[in-house]
Every structure is written in structure tokens, then in C-alpha cells.
Amino acid sequence: MLETPERPTQQKPLLLIVDDDPLITDTLGYSMQQAFEVIASHSRTHCMQLMRELRRPPEAALIDLGLPPQPHRPDEGFALIGELLQNSPEMKIVVLSGQSDDSNARHARTIGAVDFVPKPCDPGDLLETLRRALTFRAVEASQRTAANAVLIGDSAPMQRLRIQLRQVANSPFPVLIEGESGSGKEIVASGCLHWDSRRRERPFLAINCAAISPTLVEPTLFGHARGAFTGAATAKAGYFEDAGDGTLFLDEIGELPLELQAKLLRVLENGEYQRVGETQKRLSRARIVAASNRDLRSEVRAGRFRADLYHRLSVFSVSVPPLRELGNDRLLLLDHFRQLYAAQTQQAPFRLDAAAESLWLDYPFPGNVRELRNIVIRLMARHAGAQVSASELESELDLIAATDSKETARAPVLAPLPVAGATALPASGYDVGEPQALAGALRRLQQAEAFSLDHLLADVERNYIDAALKLVNGNVSQAARLLGLNRTTLYNRMESLAKEP
């Protein structure tokens, strides 16, 4: 009898749906099952428990923001997005949002969600959004290898960082990389510290300490003997062994349980470690690079991180600057991601008009490069081949969170340029004499091909009025007070703005 050769089965991507309404998880699960293997959860705690048990992390997730124990507030959803991305930074998270929480959905995107879909939603549109997100995920995966990881940026802080990285790349000592979430710590570890060093032909292994269940951290890092614990059917090497004399990148090191911190300290002190269930000592030759977006010094003070381990890890320490400090690098990064996604998806790139470009340069990107990248993804999806205006771009930004950020208190976020009376909004903190603002104006005038002060000022006015109305849930009298205007004047301005192109 002839045997039919087994056809390789293509594994469907895994989709995680988190919603406390079983009707929604059931119906969505049903509509998505053709394209995805679906798992569902009803709360943040349950979801994170599930994540620890899964053999592979989901490629995509659909998250509702209002989850128990606070189903009427978005906080659980926000916290879940942060935890999922910490656990699996490549995951594409789409927020399912009620129409009324537009500002929440914007904030969710700032902290890393790739898009949001208003409820009630059309399953076909949702599927399309998820498919698109997965296409971009595949593009990013190709960029994650050390050989392809290119750190973009020419600004003075980035040049200083590069000099620092070159100085330490070939040393055998550990490096601690600190920086906000999404600022590029992994790319610094793989593309600069490993690939730009003599170790480039050796392995680069990355492990996310937040992603492994605490009981598995030790065997994962150090390996285990056969029968060392239930399920250890064969002996297995750990990351330290597999890394050989290459680089071992310990991401989210702040999440390492205290008892394991002692074992890691031992390897750092004398290179010695043991597989779980073995007594034989082994020697590690790997170069350790660790990263954290927590302030490890405060963690030490709070007793959650060992001081001796902190000192060992930070023989060299580098700090990746947040995007808001990188000036025109925002444009370089825009160009980089736009070209990358356009080429990979075979679509024409979008363009920003002059006002949109000003807004882009003034937006502080609280979610750093990850947020910038996600904005480019959405703009590609909505405006491929077209010109994007300031108001179209504005709908992709989280301007309220941006103005709230104390770091950006002196940057004109809602306003690309100053206008009389704009100081009435305390968040802007704009000062006419500020050199930064003057430099911004010079830059815009030099860069813009067709500049119009009238359009720019109208955009500024529109942004402030929208922001004020948003802050007071559409109450015109209160918005007028906030803007330092009387109610009639505000109505008149809104009317004339509505007539503007």
C-alpha cells in the first residue's frame, strides 16, 4: 500500500481574547476561529496566569479595557496591556473599545496597543485589523535578528550613546541597559553590544525574565538534569550553556525572583553555575547584558533587588534616552519605519503635510519608539500613498497624556507654535522667550515647502478647543473658562474654524 506523505500542517496563529462578557468572547472566538487558534480570558489575573501556562505566547490579542474588579474603569485593561507586552513585546494587541472611551483607546495605543476597534464591531473588519497587525509583526520579526537590528538616530544623545556603546562592546564585563519602555534597549543589546563586537559570530540569546513562570526560571537559565523535576524527561542545557562565549541578554532583569538573584550573582562573580538536579559545577563564558525599564536603584532601596547584584550588573551602565529628547530623530525613525513597512507590504508610503510634520516633531511620544512604530503602522493602514494632515495625525496621538507628562511640561504639545492666549492652558507651559520654541519655529520654516501661518494657527486653535472640550466632556461653558474666553467668543471661533478648509 502506498503511503501518502504527511503534509506539513501550518500552525494557526494564537489569538488571546480578554473580555469579561462571555457572550463577546464566545462570539468573537467563533468568528475568529477560521484564521486563529483562540484562547479566552475574563480578567487580568486569569489572563496572566494563562500566559504562564501557555507553551507559546499568543501572536495577537483582543483586549477589552473595562475588566473586573473595575469593569467600569479602564485601569485593569491598561495594566494588562503593560504586562502582556512586558511578557511578550512582539505581541500585537488590539483594543476593543466602547465608542465613548476614545481617549482611553488613545492612551492604550500610547502604552503599546497597535490599534483599537470600537464596539460593536464588524467581525470582518476586526479580522482584517488583526491580519494587518500580523503582517507588520512578521516584518518586525525579520528586523529583530542581531544582524538586522540597526539603531536609528543622529541626535546628540544618540551619538553619545553610540560612543559609549563602542567603548564597552568588546569588554567581557556585564552591561546594564536602562531606559523607558519602548526606547530601544533590546536593539542596543543585540545590534550594538553584540553585533558590533568581536562576539558577532557567536550566539546572541535573549531571555525575558518577566515571561517565564518563577518556577521555571532556574532550569531555563541554568539547565536541568534528567528527572530533576516532574516533566524533566531528558537532561537539558540552559541559556547560560547555550550562549557559549556569545552574549546572554537578560531582559526585564528587575522581574527576577529574589532567590534567583543570588544564583545569578554567583555566576557573575566567578562564572560558576549548576544545572538543576546536578552537583557538577559548570563554567559560563557568556557576556551578560541586562536591561530593565524599572529604576533598579529604587528597587534596591525597596528591598526587591539585591544591591550586590545591581553593582555586579552595572559595571558598565548605559542609559537609552527617551524619544522626546531626540529632536529630529523622530523624522529619521518615521522615514525608517515608513519605508520598511511600505516595501514589505508593497504599498506606497504616506506623506505628512507641513502642519502634520510640525505636530510629529512636537509630539513627545510617551510610549517611545514602540509608539512611533505603531503610529506608522496605523498611518500606513489608513493613508498609504496619501498625504496626512495634522488633524488626521492628531487622531492617532494621545495628546492629553502627552501634556500630562511632567517631562514634556515645557514642550508645546498641543500647539506646534505659540498663540496669544495659549498660556491659558496650564499644560502647555509655553513661554514666548523659550529658545526651544524659537528653534522649533526656525526648523519648521526651513523645512516646510508650503508654509501657511494661518493654517498653522487655525490648527493650534482647533487643537486647544478640542482638548478643552475633551477635558470637560463637551461642556462649552466650562471649555470656554478653561480657554480664558467667554462662551460666545468660543462659539464664534468654533463656527469660523468649521468653515476653514
Least CB distance from residue 217 to ligand ATP, whole Å?
A: 17
C-beta of 371 vs 461, nearer to ligand ATP: 371
C-beta of 261 vs 293, nearer to ligand ATP: 293
Least CB distance from residue 490 to ligand ATP, whole Å?
A: 40
Q: Which residue has the cell 475574563?
A: 42
Least CB distance from residue 370 to ligand ATP, whole Å?
A: 4
Residue nearest to ligand ATP (CB): 184
- The C-alpha angle with vertex 150 and arms to 146 and 154, in degrees rounded to 5, equals 150
Cell for 470? Answer: 475633551
Indicate the SS3 state at residue 348: coil
For residue 490, what are the contacts with CB-CB under 8 A and spacing of at least 6?
A: 465, 476, 479, 480, 483
CA distance 167 to 151: 16
Least CB distance from residue 259 to ligand ATP, whole Å?
A: 24
Query: Is the CB of residue 466 less than 8 Å from the CB of residue 413?
Result: no
C-beta of 88 vs 261, nearer to ligand ATP: 88
Sign of the CA dihedral with 125 first, then 127, 128, and 134 last: positive
Least CB distance from residue 433 to ligand ATP, whole Å?
A: 32
C-beta of 211 vs 402, nearer to ligand ATP: 211
Least CB distance from residue 251 to ligand ATP, whole Å?
A: 6
C-beta of 187 vs 467, nearer to ligand ATP: 187
Query: Is the CB of residue 232 less than 8 Å from the CB of residue 225?
Result: yes
C-beta of 293 vs 358, nearer to ligand ATP: 293
Least CB distance from residue 85 to ligand ATP, whole Å?
A: 6
Least CB distance from residue 40 to ligand ATP, whole Å?
A: 25
Query: Is the CB of residue 367 less than 8 Å from the CB of residue 378?
Result: no
User: Residue 199's closest CA among 317, 286, 318, 267?
Assistant: 286
Q: If you write DSSP's letter for every residue of 139-177 in order, what string do you get?
A: HHHHH-STTT------SHHHHHHHHHHHHHTT-SS-EEE
Least CB distance from residue 497 to ligand ATP, whole Å?
A: 36
In the chain the first and final C-alpha atoms are separated, in Å, by 75
C-beta of 398 vs 466, nearer to ligand ATP: 398
Query: Is the CB of residue 21 less than 8 Å from the CB of residue 27?
Result: no
C-beta of 290 vs 369, nearer to ligand ATP: 369
For residue 73, count CB atoms less than 10 angstroms from its CB and return exposed for 0-12, middle for 13-18, buried for 19 or more: middle
64 phi and psi angles, rounded to 5 deg: -90, 145
CA distance 248 to 189: 9
C-beta of 155 vs 391, nearer to ligand ATP: 155
Least CB distance from residue 367 to ligand ATP, whole Å?
A: 9
C-beta of 211 vs 417, nearer to ligand ATP: 211
CA atoms within 13 A on the CB side of 323: 29
Cell for 374? Answer: 505603531
Least CB distance from residue 320 to ligand ATP, whole Å?
A: 6
C-beta of 208 vs 408, nearer to ligand ATP: 208
Q: What is the CA radius of gyration of the chain?
A: 25
How far does CA 404 lie from the centroid of its chain?
A: 19
Residues near ligand ATP (CB under 6 A): 89, 140, 143, 151-153, 179, 181-187, 293, 369-370, 373
